[in-house]
Amino acid sequence: MASRKTFNQFSVLLILLMNCFAFLVQCGRPHNTEGEDLVTATCKHTLHFEVCNSSLRSVPSSSITSDLRVLVEIALNLSTTYAVVTLSCVHELQSNSSAAINIYVSHFLRDCEEEFSGAIENLQDSKEALANGDCDGVDTLVFVAMSDAETCEDDFKDMSSEGNYSTSPLTQHNRYFSELCSNALAITKLLT
Ligand SMILES: *[C@@H]1O[C@H](CO)[C@@H](O)[C@H](O)[C@H]1NC(C)=O
Ligand SMILES: *[C@@H]1O[C@H](CO)[C@@H](O)[C@H](O)[C@H]1NC(C)=O
Ligand SMILES: *[C@@H]1O[C@H](CO)[C@@H](O)[C@H](O)[C@H]1NC(C)=O
Ligand SMILES: *[C@@H]1O[C@H](CO)[C@@H](O)[C@H](O)[C@H]1NC(C)=O
């Protein structure tokens, strides 16, 4: 009887140990399943996976880092760079006399110029917030930058109701910029 009881206790212990082991295997790598690297695992938490995956991978250091903070910094850098690209697109449109000749278009471009200049400042500040470990600050600043692009797009809609315009010359830029910012916000959330 005694040895049987010991055997039962041993079985129970063994089963418990096996469960613990299975649990550890599952929980030890919360964001990572077989064969996935950090970029793929991280991008699965964003709303725009393809944009996240391709933009992060355009920066080689994203593939070698195991630090989520580095991915956040890269995401903020990508958003900043694209805001700069969009601002120079605005300047190009402004210097194009046939596009700028219309009073509605030139108002719209001037507003978008202000919005993207503001977005660039906010994104630069968000990198300082990240360096200071202030995730809430990053969140707020990126959200404001993202709203700027939406304002630029809405300005055009207001204008097009008065004019003859169906598509904004900045729609693609505004959309891609919003997606980059949305991804940066989602990746920042993983830090907290
Ligand atoms: C992520 O991007 C890389 C390179 O652009 C591509 O090879 C890979 O298939 C993408 N991953 C997924 C899950 O789509
Ligand atoms: C982000 O951009 C800054 C300024 O261009 C650069 O110094 C830094 O190395 C970049 N960070 C990453 C993680 O690539
Ligand atoms: C200038 O604007 C006109 C009218 O919007 C457009 O057809 C033309 O492609 C633009 N040129 C440049 C260089 O952007
Ligand atoms: C809309 O188009 C018509 C015809 O091309 C033009 O006469 C009118 O001035 C345009 N309206 C605006 C607000 O540009």
- The CATH number of the domain where 89 resides is what? 1.20.140.40
Distance 96 CA to ligand 3 centre (A): 6
How many angstroms separate the CA atoms of 151 and 84, rounded?
17
Residues 18 and 70 in one domain: no
Residues 18 and 4 in one domain: yes
Residues 38 and 10 in one domain: no
Residues 67 and 155 in one domain: yes
Say how many domains are in the chain.
2
Atom of ligand 4 nearest to the CA of 163: 13
pLDDT, tens digit (0-9, with 9 covering 90-100), for 56-104:
999 999 999 999 999 999 999 999 999 999 999 999 988 886 655 677 7
Residues 87 and 156 in one domain: yes
pTM of structure: 0.77
Q: What residues contact residue 125 under an 8 Å CB cut-off, 6+ apart?
A: 137, 141
Distance 87 CA to ligand 2 centre (A): 20
Distance 81 CA to ligand 2 centre (A): 11
Residues 59 and 138 in one domain: yes
CA end-to-end span of the chain:
54
Name the residue range of residue 115's domain: 34-189
pLDDT, tens digit (0-9, with 9 covering 90-100), for 105-128:
888 889 999 999 999 999 999 999
